[in-house]
Amino acid sequence: MAKAQTKKTVKKVEDVPTMMADIGQVDTFILALERRYGFGRLLMACPDLELAERMRRQVDKFNQAIIDNDEQAIRAHGQGTIKGYQALERAYLAAGFKEIDQSAVIETLMPDGTVLQIVADVAKHRPVDGDTREIIGIGADVVATLFDEKMKKTLADVSKHWPGARVEQIRRKPIVADELPF
């Protein structure tokens, strides 16, 4: 029995902005939830395993629609993905989980006396009124970009072999001002 061939249509240039807008709407919605609850946390902590599996399949369908460049499927599966994330959020909250405290600030003193503040979302962070210290505030997303794969593996190995270890001091070798011998 022969399978029916589906004809792939080439999208017109004017279709691209619509598809990008639909994809952007879904991405913006998911990013807002992940900033509120933690990246990947709604799906990973979902107490309803069946809901979590349905959601994984829905995300796969949405991603496949993007790969296939299928405008109608992007819109349909995008809306399905948003509804699925809304269901995950309800299940997460019903299980007693809470939002991440966006006001939390990790603060440390840098060698030059500047205060480094690491915050969940730098766009929502505001310095305390009257604080006259020299402060550099960065978001957790910026900190994540500072760690390449080699650094990540090194830190994981150190944590594994020396649980509770912490960096006390970093010393850099001085730059030698000698002329090169050639």
pLDDT at 60 over 50: yes
Decide if 11 contacts 20 (C-beta within 8 A): no
pLDDT for 153 beyond 60: yes
Please provide the average confidence, as pLDDT, over all residues in the chain: 82
What percent of the chain lies above the pLDDT cut of 90? 33
Nearest 5°: phi and psi at 69?
60, 40
- Check whether 143 has a pLDDT greater than 80: yes
Confidence of residue 64 (pLDDT cuts 50, 70, 90): very high
What residues does each domain of the chain span?
Answer: 15-94, 105-161
Q: Does residue 77 contact residue 58 with C-beta atoms inside 8 Å? A: yes
Q: Give the model's pLDDT for residue 1.
A: 46
Which letter, b or e, does each residue of 129-139 get, where b requires 16 or more Cβ atoms within 10 Å of its Cβ?
eeeeeeeebeb
Q: What is the pLDDT of residue 12?
A: 54
The confidence score (pLDDT) of residue 89 equals 96
69 vs 152, more confident: 69
